[in-house]
Chains A and B, each alone.
Chain A
């Protein structure tokens, strides 16, 4: 349960999410996570801890990996946001998602959207990520199911496939 300002003065905020421009009236200190989930119905970003520790709420904000639970929505004004829902087409999975499916990178699935966005951000910056890069790049995304090893395999596999594609 998260309380924001109870005298909830709202302002108009607009940004582009997954390619669509969205404009809404929200309290400027509302968390981006809540706006995505409640106002826009984009429930792929999850709340695991509410304090930037678990990474389940990861999204890309102007191409940068962030924890959306730590972003007051006013700081997302006029930005371009990518959530898990916008990562691939409706029917197909992208290369990372395919690799996660094959390698067992998703178990309960609650950390998965954040993990995939973090991995995607990593591979964008380090296409030939080493195991050390992968471990570091995902260290802000907690997973309690896998022990991470099959996630590492999936990211390494996606990196290989991208290199040979």
Chain B
């Protein structure tokens, strides 16, 4: 397997008006790894992922997937599965119909829709309107959409949000299975305890990069808690919670 980075951020800065969401972000993700992008709410995680996917233009720097910008990467939609908190399903659809829309757009057969519905455990509710789905079911549908093209790389923004304990365990096992198959996963989260059980590498972002490397090195092979190391690197929170 090639050890060329699957994902590379080079000095990425993104400003929205006078607000700097991400500043001078540089890190790489190696193939076959599960990488946790950690930070508080408003730390710039989603912005960084949107820059990576070409949804947002960086103010400076660039981000590549498999050596190319997303829009220049051949067959990008089939190679990269995406689930983001802010990407909802097609309005007015059922779970099955929503997946069929994306399957057709990707040139995939309907059998693939049934396969991912089964994979995420939504087969029984596939013909219900998505509007009536619980948060956890919506999260599973988003994951099903990401898995639809059987991608080499998964980019998941807060994938644990809304999942119940069974769902969290299922997701952890799924990600482990995907990584064992040589696929790469970049997931953003602010749930440190969950991430600690799932990822190989960690990127800590608090507008600027605070750490990038193996989880084991950060936690001294488990001698330190990720939470403690996170607060050391990301800085203390404002009273009452995050500094959004």
Question: Does A associate with B in a complex?
Answer: no
